[in-house]
Structure 1
């Protein structure tokens, strides 16, 4: 599941336009294999159908839910596995596809009347922050962004100017591509969310700014594609490696035919743009399903460009296909199922998103450069005249204390190739052996410098020169030598 990620496809059957129709939809839910959905076209439904068209269609899906399915069950089956992969450092995407009124927005965002009606996004936020709070082994940082694609133009739903400006006056989100073909979105803000409450407030702010209009198909139809993205970065304390992952939660606009919406004017323009972008999405899906296809038309629309890594790249992706089970929508249901079957042919390969922290990398490179300079000075015999800093002296003292207290005969003392540090350590070790103060701990406080001199009588006696002492006795000859 981790090494080779496959598209998982669930179909969620929600009815907002009538009761369950007998003998039209039948589900065979076998736990050992894929669930299958059979759609039987009634003979009395002649509108839009030709005489020789087949009367039944059968589709297989990973999981099928009926209109009685609860939101928590849908989350556990669909979103929770993807959220777990995102927490592990993999990219994830969940997107809902279906006609207007089939339950896409309710499934992704949820209803506002009851707490139990919360959708995938708020439940995912709750689950992610709950898991982050439990994990104390890493330092996590979370950001969210909310992109709306309306009439093929991108807008930032979290832009603070939304309340005081018209949509057309806001700066448009534009797509930029780097030499490695990575997509970057200009004018799309990343808002930091330290906890679940802050993230939910950002979600509610974005939902307030969405383009919603009344159509004959749905009284509150979303007229745009919306992509809510959770960005997570994690790092273990002291480690130079950062894991970055993101989770796209996508609510697509309705996929029904323009003639069926019964709209005109600007709503007709909206419907045309919606269907055009979904058409380009279908083209990308078809191209990805063909293994020998070399060119994938991602650039045809903004949505396919933004979701490039989700559709055919480094991402764990789940599609939710939603159906309206009213018999007048059978043709739309069949089209949705056919699209989902094509998408199911795509295979993605997700990899762990790890990178080195640039700041820590700079520190490591500086340290490596210094070590190389020390080794070069040691080989060439070039003496360094600058004194060791107080921080370096404290580090050496700690290393020495650990080394002298270690009873393991195979323990080593590694201070690098700096002759100043080597001499400093030799001096301290010798002072410890000669036991000036009886302990190495006392030496740290009293010893300032150490030199080896001969006494006045040339007897090669080693004298120890300590801080504050001007003269020391030569024990062998009773003479004095200056510090």
Structure 2
């Protein structure tokens, strides 16, 4: 939603109705300025301007101003939404009166005292919520930060600095005071007003020469539901120093220097507002001045922002009035997206989870009672219970029992844990036994070795076969055979021994042995033919021999 902008007109004895006119809807204001005769006959300067606001506060009381401007912002802050209320205008237009009021009469109190009253009234009437309130008061004078609530406010021994962190912008060294009731907060507020830097000005006898920022920090916690998250919000009240042209204020010396700082910081503030109103801008120059840097989280963003523009209802100040209305109109261009500031503290979170666990345990106990089951303690298992479950698991594996007593989920988890431990133990025992009897070879190493010797896989298989035969027990001696068969067998044995002797050489040397030279087919046929002729000659001799009986005759 857009930033809300209201205009409050300071009443005067001679209000220029021909120059300042209010709309019938009480939300628009028209300004008319006659052309200056010194401009000549050709004068193209504007003479009429029209501005739309969220409300015009003319001839209104302090109570009516608070109802229109701040009441909803404070109510939203009690629900976790931060808020900012800022007063802008020329010197003597009534900014400080609107913000803090007059201490002479109770009905003339301003926005800040009434906001404090509303916060503590809500804290008193609320039974379910515990509301804590803290306050701080910052002053920016000539680009120097000052703490109006510090123990030694007159001195600035401890320099303040604007820092940015995860929680946003903060002022290091700024004192934040806890207040428990309304009177204590009002006492700190009005006591801090006394040493505020003021000076006698041509437009105001007690002109504020510094920007003042009063902040109320609100913390809400539930008294009933401890599992609810907390809410931290703050309301920032900004009383800006008066803006005026040098020709109207007729400054001299120190006042001229102060006006220079004031106008420069307000000019930077207007640049920030123009940058925030432009959605195409990627960078917002908040660090140009201390004022804009401190107000980084208060201008738009995630908080409710309201601007009160104070103008003088006097014809002599119509140009300053026009400048203030332009500022208010630009402020309405800014879009804000308020979100609740919900915090989750660690201690609150732990306490909430403990309460939730205890509640669930009571509900389980009630279910056991309704189901006529024995009461089960839903707590972590003790060492004795773990030993008992382990014993039951071993009995179940040995067959000594057919069931394991289980009454809750923790015992189920412990049973599976014991099964897993027993399985791991058995695997380790089996592996140790195998290692004691056999040489275990890793499959990956075996695959790597087989790839290295894949050039002659058949020779390796033959070698393995010979090794197996060598490990077998010795066979009984063979029966005697004829000489010719023995000679024939000896040749085959010689060939086999050659292969046996060559295979290990190849296996150990890593290179393939030379192939045995085969005999030529002609030589083999001659040997075979000679053996056949010898057999025929022997058989003829046996047939030609006469029997033993014939020789005796």
What value does the CA root-mean-square deviation take over the aligned residues? 3.1
Q: 1:400 to 1:304 in 2, by over 3 A?
A: closer
Find the aligned partners of 2:150 and 2:293 in 1 and give their Cα distance. Answer: 22
Look up the SS of the partner of 2:206 in the other structure. Answer: strand
Find the aligned partners of 1:365 and 1:406 in 2 and give their Cα distance. Answer: 23
1:405-431 deviation per Cα after TM superposition (whole angstroms, max 9, x unaligned): 9874499977435124997xxxxxxxx
TM-score, with length taken from structure 2: 0.64
Equivalences for 1:206-285 in 2 at 5 Å? 206-237=192-223, 238-239=226-227, 241-285=229-273
Equivalences for 1:286-435 in 2 at 5 Å? 286-361=274-349, 403=365, 408-409=370-371, 415-420=377-382
Find the aligned partners of 1:354 and 1:411 in 2 and give their Cα distance. Answer: 43
Deviation of residue 79 (structure 1)?
0.4
Q: Which moved more, 1:107-116 or 1:332-341?
A: 107-116
Q: 1:406 to 1:307 in 2, by over 3 A?
A: same
Deviation of residue 42 (structure 1)?
3.7
1:54-85 deviation per Cα after TM superposition (whole angstroms, max 9, x unaligned): 2211100000011x210000000000011111
Deviation of residue 312 (structure 1)?
3.3
Deviation of residue 14 (structure 1)?
1.0
Q: Is the 8 A contact 1:97 1:320 kept in 2?
A: yes
Find the aligned partners of 1:422 and 1:235 in 2 and give their Cα distance. Answer: 43
Structure 1 residue 138 corresponds to structure 2 residue 129: yes
Q: Is the 8 A contact 2:365 2:376 kept in 1?
A: no
1:335-374 deviation per Cα after TM superposition (whole angstroms, max 9, x unaligned): 1111111110100111110111232345678999xx9xxx
Residue matched to 1:456: none
Look up the SS of the partner of 1:218 in the other structure. Answer: coil
Find the aligned partners of 1:267 and 1:332 in 2 and give their Cα distance. Answer: 19
Flag the structure with more relative contact order, 1 or 2, with Cα contacts below 8 A and sequence separation at least 6. Answer: 1
Structure 1 residue 92 corresponds to structure 2 residue 79: no
1:209-228 deviation per Cα after TM superposition (whole angstroms, max 9, x unaligned): 21111110100000000000
Q: Is the 8 A contact 2:83 2:236 kept in 1?
A: yes
Deviation of residue 6 (structure 1)?
2.6
| Regions of 4+ moved over 4 Å | 43-47, 362-368, 398-402, 404-415, 420-423
Aligned residues: 382
Residue matched to 1:147: 138
Find the aligned partners of 1:19 and 1:173 in 2 and give their Cα distance. Answer: 45
Look up the SS of the partner of 2:218 in the other structure. Answer: strand
Residue matched to 1:62: 54
Q: 1:363 to 1:51 in 2, by over 3 A?
A: same
For structure 1, the 5+ residue unaligned runs are: 372-394, 424-483
1:6 corresponds to which of 2, 10, 31: 2
Q: Is the 8 A contact 1:132 1:140 kept in 2?
A: yes
Q: Is the 8 A contact 2:199 2:209 kept in 1?
A: yes
Deviation of residue 103 (structure 1)?
0.7
Q: 1:328 to 1:400 in 2, by over 3 A?
A: closer
Q: 1:401 to 1:115 in 2, by over 3 A?
A: closer
Structure with greater Cα Rg? 2
More helix by share: 2
Deviation of residue 15 (structure 1)?
3.6
Look up the SS of the partner of 1:320 in the other structure. Answer: strand
More strand by share: 1
For structure 2, the 5+ residue unaligned runs are: 386-553
Q: Is the 8 A contact 1:240 1:357 kept in 2?
A: no
Deviation of residue 204 (structure 1)?
0.7
